[in-house]
Amino acid sequence: MGREDDNDDSALFRAAVEDVQPLQHNRVEPRKPRPSPVPHQRHMDERRVMEELLDGPLEPDEVETGDELAFLRPGVQKRALRKLRRGQYSVQAELDLHGMTADTARQELRRFINDCRARDLRCLRIIHGKGLRSRNRGPVLKTLVDRWLRQLEEVLAFASARPVDGGTGAVYVLLRSR
């Protein structure tokens, strides 16, 4: 093996690469970042837990017809609840639960909150009624709405509405921004 083999190899190589165009740069395009993994199982588990919590036994004795509702999530300024009670936030959407069964009301409330969050609405009014037709059972929907709203992480605060907006038969709700 001598110089002739080397010349043959060089000639073969040149012939093989004669149509090749040189690169204009020496950088490699970075790969697009992969999306973050979505913990589907955790979301399903949390959804199941929330449904179990929302389906708990009803205790209408906890809330009387005339009682005012108020809730403030820990870490939220008391000023927010004060402004909410005074009706100083502009109500951006409203849901009327009058005449609905508990199951229907729960589904409508969840759908309404999710829809408002998707539209980035922050202040809502939910009309639950005063329970005047509930006879001795007390205000069923009012009690349930109180419980359901406390369990939703996106709810920062809620308070009974001003008399002009339904009084103790409705609540203003302040949602966390998206």
Provide mean pLDDT across the span 31-46. Answer: 82
57 vs 46, more confident: 46
Spatial separation of the C-alpha atoms in residues 128 and 98, rounded to whole Å? 6
pTM, entire model: 0.62
Closest CA relative to residue 65, chosen from 131, 159, 144, 143:
131
Q: Which amino acid is at 125?
A: R
- pLDDT for the residue numbered 33: 85
**Tokens 């929302």 belong to residue:** 54
Provide mean pLDDT across the span 52-67. Answer: 54
Ordered DSSP codes for 55-98: TSPP-GGGS-TTPPPEEE-TTS-HHHHHHHHTT-SPP-EEEE-T
Average pLDDT over the chain reads 83
Spatial separation of the C-alpha atoms in residues 117 and 98, rounded to whole Å? 23
Beta bridge pairs of residue 72 = 157
Q: Which amino acid is at 104?
A: T
Provide mean pLDDT across the span 159-177. Answer: 92
Provide mean pLDDT across the span 141-159. Answer: 93
Spatial separation of the C-alpha atoms in residues 47 and 65, rounded to whole Å? 31
Beta bridge pairs of residue 69 = none
Does residue 104 register a pLDDT over 60? yes
The torsion angles phi and psi of 122, rounded to 5 degrees, stand at -110, -35
Provide mean pLDDT across the span 114-121. Answer: 93
CB 54 within 8 A of CB 151: yes
- The per-residue pLDDT for range 71-87, each reduced to its tens digit, is 999 999 999 999 999 99
Q: Which residues contact 98 (CB under 8 A, 6 or more apart)?
A: 127, 128, 129
pLDDT band at 61 (very low <50, low <70, confident <90, very high): very low
Does residue 115 register a pLDDT over 90? yes
- pLDDT for the residue numbered 24: 78
Domains and CATH numbers, the chain: 41-175 (3.30.1370.110)
- pLDDT for the residue numbered 121: 93
Does residue 51 register a pLDDT over 80? no
- pLDDT for the residue numbered 44: 82
Does residue 177 register a pLDDT over 70? yes
The torsion angles phi and psi of 173, rounded to 5 degrees, stand at -125, 135
Query: Beta strand pairing status for 155-160 and 170-175?
Result: antiparallel
Does residue 12 register a pLDDT over 70? yes
